[in-house]
Amino acid sequence: MIISATYGFAIARISTEAAQLKVSIAKQNMQALDDAVRLVAWSTGSSKTVYLENCGGVFQTKPLAKNLTIVLTDCQALSHTVFNGYVGKVLYTLEGLAESQAGFFVKGDSRTIVGQGASTATQLYFERDENAQQLVLCYRPVATALAVDPNEAKPLNVIRVYIISLSVSRAVLLYGSFHLKVSC
């Protein structure tokens, strides 16, 4: 009886540790992918290939995910849509995790838009679909604003919004270990 109980406990513990190892590998893969994306993001024509190790999950690109609409308004007469489109996301679907990590951010936070220097554009977080947990990598816009007074007549506000979009990728579904090329 004691041997059976010990064996059952050991198997459960090994299974939990194996799931945590898979999550660690998935996090490492996504952070390597994020590094590659941020490296090539602002250099047209540049590319970098990353190796993603087998974490036991399913890797997916979803180019038609995360619709982003940016409207410039002064809350009075001015209202202009400056961007309306998909920015895409990539994710690992991880099955068999003992506890839910949904809502936990590995990198970034839940803010929709950030100012330059305030935080990273990267959002790497866990969410749950109907069957399994997912480790999601996506990007939010970064905005900067500068007030310029060229002639002391009317001040000029310069607003720049930087968007990293994964929407030009094709939808893929990959298993195991593979190389992935990131291009700008």
pLDDT at 8: 65
CA-based nearest residue to 178, from 43, 65, 61:
61
Integer distance in angstroms from the first to the last C-alpha of the chain? Answer: 61
Q: How many CB atoms lie within 10 A of CB 119?
A: 16
Query: For residue 136, what pLDDT is reported?
Result: 96
Q: Which amino acid is at 93?
A: T
The band of 160, judged by pLDDT with boundaries at 50, 70 and 90, is confident
Q: CA-CA distance, 74 to 95, in Å (whole number)?
A: 46
Cβ contact 87:164 at 8 Å:
yes
Question: Cβ-count burial of 70 within 10 angstroms (0-12 exposed, 13-18 middle, 19+ buried)?
Answer: middle
Exposed, middle or buried by CB within 10 Å (0-12, 13-18, 19+), for 122?
A: buried
Under the banding of pLDDT at 50, 70 and 90, the label for residue 10 is low
Tens digits of residue pLDDT in 39-87: 999 889 999 999 999 998 999 999 999 999 998 888 888 888 989 999 9
Rounded to an integer, the average pLDDT of 157-164 is 88
Distance CA 166, CA 169 (A): 6
Q: What angle do CA 94, 98, 101 make, to 5 degrees?
A: 65
On the question of pLDDT at 14 being above 70, the answer is no
Q: Please give the pLDDT value at position 11.
A: 62
Q: Work out the average pLDDT over 122-133.
A: 90
- 28-37 pLDDT, tens digit each: 999 999 999 9
pLDDT value for 9: 62
| % of the chain with per-residue pLDDT over 90 | 48
Residue 133's nearest CA partner among 170, 90, 103, 171 is 103
